[in-house]
Amino acid sequence: MRSPKDFFAPLAVGAPDPVREIPALPSRMIHFFDPGNEKMAAKVPDLAKKVDVLLGNLEDAVRADRKEAARAGLVSIAKANDFGATQLWTRVNSLDSPWVLDDLTTLVTEIGDKLDVIMVPKVEGAQDIHYVDRLLAQLEARAGLRRPLLVHAILETASGVANVEEIAGASPRMQGISLGPADLAASRRMKTTRVGGGHPGYLVRTDPVGEDLHEGRTTYQQDLWHYTVARMVDACVMHGILPYYGPFGDIRDVVACEDQFRNAFLLGCVGTWSLHPVQIDIAKRVFSPDPKDVAWARRVIAAMGDGTGAVMIDGKMQDDASFKQCRVVAELADALAERDPELKEAYDEATKEVQQ
Ligand SMILES: CC(=O)SCCNC(=O)CCNC(=O)[C@H](O)C(C)(C)COP(=O)(O)OP(=O)(O)OC[C@H]1O[C@@H](n2cnc3c(N)ncnc32)[C@H](O)[C@@H]1OP(=O)(O)O
Ligand SMILES: O=CC(=O)O
Ligand SMILES: [Mg+2]
């Protein structure tokens, strides 16, 4: 184990100093595209204006015989475009694959100055992050990078879930963790065949009302991902990094997609993945706090002064704890408003209405 004293020392001579704090940049949607797919690649400059994060995906969903085209495509897209405030991430192939070494070597040396975060799939434990950490330091030194690349882990194996706290704290590069429900379901041998979302068979039923065990009993579908998302959020917060929901594969079902995203938002996630352009606006809507909630939060903060004591607002008791919740909402709204003039207007408008 590294000594805490050495945690923020570079892992290779000439590599940049690790960051001490993970920047809380807007990342409501991490938009996946296949950089080797010409149609998708052509949409990237436009999409960059609409999303917080663009992610060039090299792993699953890219055919084995297209891996090299995807990698080369990402290099040329990154070189040809300036994405402004939109972050550029990549998802490399898994650490046991024949492609990952070339993914990391090529991307860091060719476009390391353009990339913000490297997403690592199928992370099993801290050892996987340690491997990537040292390799990135060596490559950063070779490329002469002045800013360290950050690392994002996908939580998609049973052992990854069992080790999630140590993964979250394995390196100062750790930026965040996303739930990977599809691979996680396979790893756990869950009996589902979907990419994220619920399942009608996972339910609870009210007690019987009479002799007939079928009559008058309501069922409620339960969330398959509640435990994992909640555990992931705690691990991330404990280590000062950011939690995300992952993919929702039923592209047509925009309603259930919004529900799944909102559950994750309410539980503490800061964003999600968008797999198709239709999911971008859903993520934006869900992961930007509602103007009414922002107005309420600002009102509570104003009424609470230094944040101690208790006050009554519209019949509801507010104290230090609700003040802190309101600050989470208000600070997120302020950060998003800085980037999005429409949101700023909506938040300020709702705040004015509450003050009148
Ligand atoms: C479990 C996991 O690992 S999830 C993460 C890995 N998976 C992915 O990254 C999947 C990314 N998304 C996709 O590959 C595609 O969206 C698919 C295969 C799901 C659907 O693609 P299509 O059948 O082409 O969808 P559709 O016909 O609705 O697309 C409409 C247009 O949007 C484009 N488009 C679709 N998805 C994307 C995207 N993610 N980014 C940019 N453009 C896209 C299509 O190329 C098409 O362009 P066109 O109008 O010029 O023909
Ligand atoms: O990579 C994502 C997943 O759900 O698997
Ligand atoms: Mg996966």
Write down the pLDDT at residue 149.
98
Write down the pLDDT at residue 354.
83
Judged by its nearest atom, the ligand closest to the C-alpha of residue 275 is 1
ipTM topping 0.95: yes
* Nearest protein Cα to ligand 2, atom 2: 180
The first and second tokens of residue 67, run together, are: 């891996």
DSSP 160-227: HHHTHHHHHTS-TTEEEEEE-HHHHHHHHT-S--SSSS--TTSEEEPPP-SS-SSTT--EEE--TTHH
Specify the ligand 2 atom closest to the Cα of 91.
1
Write down the pLDDT at residue 73.
98
What is the pTM assigned to this prediction?
A: 0.96
Q: Low-confidence residues of the chain, pLDDT below 50?
A: none
194 is in an annotated binding site: no
The first and second tokens of residue 319, run together, are: 């104290």
Q: Report which secondary-structure segment, H or E, holds 310.
A: none
156 is in an annotated binding site: yes
> Is 156's C-beta closer than 6 angstroms to any atom of ligand 2?
yes
Write down the pLDDT at residue 339.
85
Give the separation between CA 303 and CA 318, rounded to whole angstroms: 9
Q: Does the domain at residues 4-287 carry the CATH identifier 3.10.105.10?
A: no
> Is 181's C-beta closer than 6 angstroms to any atom of ligand 2?
yes
Specify the ligand 2 atom closest to the Cα of 186.
5
The first and second tokens of residue 350, run together, are: 């709702």
> Is 186's C-beta closer than 6 angstroms to any atom of ligand 1?
no
Location of each CATH 3.20.20.60 domain in the chain:
4-287
Specify the ligand 2 atom closest to the Cα of 59.
1
Strand boundaries in the chain, DSSP class E? 29-33, 53-57, 87-91, 117-120, 150-155, 174-179, 203-205, 219-221, 242-244, 272-274, 311-313, 316-318
